[in-house]
Amino acid sequence: MKCFWDDRQRAHVPASEFFNGAMHPAAEHEGRVEAILKAIGSTQAPGDLGLDPLLRVHSQDYLDFLRMAHDQWLAAGREGDALPYTFPVVKRRPLKLQRIDALLGQYSFDTSTPIGPGTWEASYWAAQTALAATNSVLGGERTAFAFCRPPGHHCGADYLGGYSYLSNAAIAAEHAVAAGRKRVAILDVDYHHGNGTQDIFYERGDVLYVSIHADPVMDYPYYWGHADERGQGTGEGANLNFPLPRGTEWSSYEGALAMAVEAIGRHAPDLLIVSYGADTYEGDPISYFKLRTTDYAPMARTIAKLGLPTVVVMEGGYAVDALGANVSEFLSRF
Ligand code: SP5
Ligand code: ZN
């Protein structure tokens, strides 16, 4: 499978994240890069399609914020990575505030997604990587892998979170629509629900979003991913969530995957985008499913049986020792 990657994605070097009342070493760290690159072998660098494909998904003000946030953080006299500490969850007037702390809260939904000096550059090239893989499939390749880092599926049109700054899979989907693909499906098999991708397409009937993930009653991102979230307006029925309990093994995961794949088949898409997270692995340090490395082979084969042009986009996966094997086990079955 053709694999896309840009070395500028290394520019994002988060030191730590805040959860459970304390700072922890960043789970989405650069050690993931070597692990995956070693496993996938040779990669191609993307071209530069500029900001237009990003603007099909994200608002201009959000992109401006993301590009400038760390400079503003330094200008405010701070050190290290920018993190928010206050959030406008009690709805306020749409204020045009300048203070970096106000902006960080406005555009973030958690405290685990630090913005460093290279975050914009890395995120920008992750999005270009997703676009290049998509173009390769639109151009006739059967499959392609976008090694996107940082990941994307928690990032919405105008907010970041969950180690995600640009919504790579959504950008890929919108690019395919702009290129004339009438129907697209996104299958999200990361351990966490892809709230950003869901939000972006929630009122769209042409882009189906299907996700299998940890039940948000127990796990991050809590406020999205429940089974009754089915889409809205013309998008009603085009959003499908399969929440599964902690401790889920392949024997019960495969039933959910069969239903997810069947729904995708019924949608009859021209293109499938798979948001692949290896954090469903039993050894993942922040997750609680029990999939084994060998389970990624039948997972991939089940998806591949759809016979659809497919772009695989990298999301999470934090067990660095097994990450390469988990990724190549998955990719090699397409
Ligand atoms: C792309 C992706 O996988 N993002 C995941 C973001 C999860 N961040 C929430 C961190 C809270 C983890 N709780 C861990 C408990 C460890 N015992
Ligand atoms: Zn995840």
Cα 83 to middle of ligand 2, angstroms = 20
pLDDT value at 262 more than 90 = yes
Kindly state the average pLDDT of the residues 228-251.
98
Domain range summary for the chain, segments of one domain joined by +: 2-331
pLDDT at position 165 is 99
Q: Is the pLDDT of residue 91 over 90?
A: no
Are the CB atoms for 242 and 272 separated by under 8 Å?
A: no
Q: Give pLDDT, residue 86.
A: 96
DSSP state of 2: E
Q: Are 214 and 287 in contact (CB under 8 A)?
A: yes
- Whether 206 lines ligand 1, by a CB cut-off of 6 Å, is no
Sequence-separated (6 or more) residues with CB below 8 Å from residue 272: 184, 185, 186, 187, 264, 303, 306, 308, 309, 310, 311
| For residues 106-128, average pLDDT | 98
53 lines ligand 1 (CB under 6 A): no
Alpha-carbon span 134 to 113, nearest angstrom: 26
Q: Report the C-alpha gap between 324 and 320 in whole angstroms.
A: 7
Look at residue 129 and give its three-state secondary structure: helix
Give the list of residues 6+ apart from residue 77 with CB closer than 8 angstroms, or none: none
Write the CB contacts of 105 (distance below 8 Å, at least 6 apart in sequence).
84, 85, 86, 87, 88
The Cα 289–Cα 282 span in angstroms is 6
Ligand 1 atom, smallest distance to 285 CA: 16
Residue type, 293: T
Instruction: Output the pLDDT for position 90.
Output: 86
Cα-only R_g, the chain: 18
Q: Superfamily assignment of 2-331 in CATH? A: Histone deacetylase domain (3.40.800.20)
Residue 204 has pLDDT above 90, yes or no: yes
Handedness of CA 77, 83, 84, 85 (dihedral sign): negative
What percentage of the chain reaches a pLDDT higher than 90? 98
Indicate if the pLDDT at residue 9 is higher than 90. yes
Ligand 1 within 6 A of CB of 33: no
Q: Which residues are catalytic?
A: 154
Distance CA 266, CA 298 (A): 21
pTM of structure: 0.98
**Residue 310: per-residue pLDDT:** 98
Ligand 2 (ion): residues with CB under 5 Å are: 190-192, 277, 279, 316
pLDDT score, position 92:
86
Q: Whose CA is nearest to atom 15 of ligand 1?
A: 286
Closest C-alpha residue for ligand 1 atom 1: 316
What residue owns the CA closest to ligand 1's atom 17? 286
Q: Is the CB of 163 under 6 A from ligand 1?
A: yes
112 C-beta closer than 6 A to ligand 1: yes
Tell me the ipTM for this assembly.
Answer: 0.96
| Position in ligand 1 atom list of the atom nearest CA 317 | 3
Please choose from 12, 28, 112 the residue to mutate so as to test ligand 1's pocket, defined by most ligand atoms within 8 A of CB. Answer: 112
Q: Over the stretch 36-90, which tens digit does the pLDDT of each residue have?
A: 999 999 999 999 999 999 999 999 999 999 999 999 999 999 999 999 999 999 8
- The CA-based angle 214-215-216, given to 5 degrees, is 105
Instruction: Report which protein residue has its CA nearest ligand 1's atom 16.
Output: 286
What residue's CA is closest to ligand 1, atom 2?
A: 316
Average pLDDT, the chain: 98
